[in-house]
Chains A and B, each alone.
Chain A
Amino acid sequence: MTRARPIILGAVGVLLIGALWELYKAIAPATGVVIGGVTVLPRSSDLAMPHIATMFLRLGQPVLGDPGSPPLWLAVLQAAGFTLGIAAVSWVIGVVVGMLLAILMQRFRTAESALAPWVILSQTVPIIALAPLVSGFGSQIPGWQDWMSVAVIASYLAFFPVSIGALRGLSSPEVAHVELLHSYAVGWWKTLVRLRLPASVPYLVPALRLAAASAVIGTVVAEVSIGLEGGVGRMMIEFASASSGDPAKPFGPIFGAIAIGLVSAGIVALLGLFLRRYRRSEATS
């Protein structure tokens, strides 16, 4: 029963959002609420906010008009799978790079002084400035595929929480513990493996979850930015042209993106289960 509670509450939350959407649509004026020329509440017309039922019905209809084309849900599912794959690659790159940076910064104070500002600064570079650089860079390398550019761009977002979280975690053991190992003449490597890494887990797990969210967002945005075919990002820009004549259609890839987010969060949660014995001191799950 206690196991099922979070799932039930989660489902209730989703239903509540749906109910709020329909409630707003039912009571708000179709033209929205405009005060002094500024729209303060959005329009609730079918064009701006299609009924949820319409969105789901649309998922069952073919993507194109042609009866031979697959139903929208299948196309979205394939696109979501494609995006999830790239997001997973970018998450792995982000975690590896983030961990290495954290270990380096923990080991050498000079490295921390040199790298920490760059790590923070890196996050102020917008993806739209970075994307053409990375894809241009990649195309110089023989055998480079466009999806790899997307993975690299997304990992650029994903590494950040990992490096910051892991650095805090690696520095978290009490001085007494470190000095104890020191007095045993235990080397740096063994201290890292036996003490610092286990101690970093409570900081690392939330960072991994943040990295997963960043990886998904980064992948979708990078797909839009460089126009990579196959994923939900590209689907969003392609379906935008149908948003007036077929307003429920663009919600398809949005559902796809939500599904990817849920799946990736689930995978990280599973990972957290395996690391459970190190997570005693974690305050927030």
Chain B
Amino acid sequence: MKHSTRVVLGMSASVIAAALMLSGCSSSSPTSKTAKGLTKVTLQLQWVPQAQFAGYYAAVANGYYKKEGLDVTIKPAGTDTVPINVVAKGQADYAISWVPKVLGSIAQGVNVTDVAQIYERSGTTQISFKDKGITSPADLAGKKVGSWGYGNQWELFAGMQKAGVNTTSGIKLVQQAFDMKGFLAGDIDAAQAMTYNEYAQVLETVNPKTGKLYQPSDLNVINWNDDGTAMLQDAIWADTNKLKDKTFDATTVKFVKASIEGWVFARDNPAKAAGIVTKAGSTLGTSHQLWMTNEVNKLIWPSTEGIGVIRSSLWDQTVKIAEATKDNTGATIISKAPPASAYSNTYVDEALKELKAEGVDVMGSSWKPITVTLNAGGK
């Protein structure tokens, strides 16, 4: 009897403790203003500071946000941060995330809207050494194919399936780490690589055969933009319900406008933009940072319909791939199309109108990339 009393007491104490913990979880985030009358805005990135986010850092450093009446805090992400959840919980006002990843979150009930599609093109490629003879997705059949997983694999699988490669038995799928050692050591024949990061990591490594750095001529690159299986990447996302609020609505136009100004600055001053990112706390090597700025510019400029505009053709392509592509686990990202509220050009159209009136070039039609020389180790 005494023993059972103790057990009952113990259990009830546990239940009370759990209830207390759960009741503590509630969220609210009213828009607040600073002493100077600026509206406080938080932007959640999808990774640590690097030139992938150069435009936002440039907009902070050059006061573009302040000019629009915003006091922007940029939050870097860790390995376990899901940017879209941070926005959904009201802990940030905007997040940068890839569209396919967010489509998965939307399918699970998160209400968010793509308010500006900063990257028009995809930076994901599949690279291999020339001697492997992999020049098209069909050539991946029977090869050791590297994939990061975690929602970064869909373009690769879409490309292989389009080329008729059996992605369960026709390839040897290798889990790829976030460095290129596996590729360089030959564990992976064709590795996933972002044009602005991993591709450069290979080109910063000394080729033991020549004693010099690896050259682009040593590599074959499958670019998913050319293959037609590219999916939309870095976009600015906001909470759909919060956008119904008139004040937040206006803040969003201002935020998108100033962010675009930042990206225009990064386009016209890549070296300065890279310097701003390094100053903001990035420890990437100097030549690597500049390379990243330049490659990211290529994903934005020249812009087809104006930077930030969500092109319906590319959105539909992304959704179609998200519905139809099965990865190695047999799963698709979504089973039905996302709601119409998943993207809106309202804010970016307004922002572009204002910028054009101010004489800002938001198309970059005559923009040409610079030539960046990578040094060993990205230094």
Chain A residues in the interface with B (C-beta under 8 A): 31, 43, 45, 47-48, 62-66, 75, 109-111, 113-115, 117-118, 128, 131-132, 136-137, 139-140, 223-229, 234-235, 237-246, 249
Contact assessment for A238 and B48 in the assembled complex, using a CB-CB cutoff below 8 Å: yes
Give the nearest-CB partner of A226 in chain B: B78
Minimum Cβ distance to chain B for residue A155 (Å): 16
Chain B residues in the interface with A (C-beta under 8 A): 6-7, 9-11, 13-14, 17, 24-25, 27-28, 47-49, 76-82, 85-86, 89, 91, 178-181, 184-185, 197, 201-202, 204-206, 278, 281-289, 375-379
* Complex CA distance for A66 and B274, rounded to whole angstroms: 12
Given contacts A227-B76, A234-B78, A240-B179, 18 further A-B contacts (CB under 8 A): A64-B289, A65-B285, A65-B377, A65-B378, A66-B286, A110-B9, A113-B9, A114-B13, A117-B10, A131-B78, A136-B91, A225-B79, A226-B80, A237-B78, A238-B282, A242-B285, A245-B201, A246-B285
* Complex CA distance for A31 and B187, rounded to whole angstroms: 11
Contact assessment for A245 and B376 in the assembled complex, using a CB-CB cutoff below 8 Å: yes
Contact assessment for B81 and A241 in the assembled complex, using a CB-CB cutoff below 8 Å: no
Give the nearest-CB partner of A116 in chain B: B10
* Complex CA distance for A242 and B25, rounded to whole angstroms: 40
Q: Given the known A-B contacts A47-B185, A113-B6, A114-B9, are A246 and B286 also in contact in the complex, defined by CB atoms under 8 Å? A: no
Give chain A residues whose Cβ lies under 8 Å from the Cβ of B282. 238
Contact assessment for B181 and A244 in the assembled complex, using a CB-CB cutoff below 8 Å: yes
* Complex CA distance for A237 and B178, rounded to whole angstroms: 9
Give chain B residues whose Cβ lies under 8 Å from the Cβ of A132. 80-82, 85
Contact assessment for A110 and B180 in the assembled complex, using a CB-CB cutoff below 8 Å: no
Give chain A residues whose Cβ lies under 8 Å from the Cβ of B80. 128, 131-132, 225-226
Contact assessment for B185 and A45 in the assembled complex, using a CB-CB cutoff below 8 Å: yes
Contact of A244 among B9, B205, B284 (CB under 8 A): B205
Give chain A residues whose Cβ lies under 8 Å from the Cβ of B289. 64
Chain A interface mostly: helix
Give the nearest-CB partner of B183 in chain A: A244
* Complex CA distance for A228 and B48, rounded to whole angstroms: 9
Contact assessment for A226 and B9 in the assembled complex, using a CB-CB cutoff below 8 Å: no
Q: Given the known A-B contacts A226-B81, A246-B377, are A64 and B283 also in contact in the complex, defined by CB atoms under 8 Å? A: yes
Minimum Cβ distance to chain B for residue A2 (Å): 45
Contact assessment for B378 and A246 in the assembled complex, using a CB-CB cutoff below 8 Å: yes
Contact assessment for A110 and B13 in the assembled complex, using a CB-CB cutoff below 8 Å: yes
Contact of A241 among B49, B184, B284 (CB under 8 A): B284
Contact assessment for B9 and A246 in the assembled complex, using a CB-CB cutoff below 8 Å: no
Between A and B, 21 residue pairs with Cβ closer than 8 Å are: A48-B185, A62-B379, A63-B283, A64-B283, A65-B375, A65-B378, A113-B9, A114-B11, A114-B17, A140-B27, A140-B28, A225-B80, A227-B47, A227-B81, A234-B78, A238-B48, A242-B285, A244-B181, A244-B205, A245-B376, A246-B377
Give the nearest-CB partner of A224 in chain B: B79
Contact of B285 among A64, A114, A227 (CB under 8 A): A64
Minimum Cβ distance to chain A for residue B151 (Å): 16
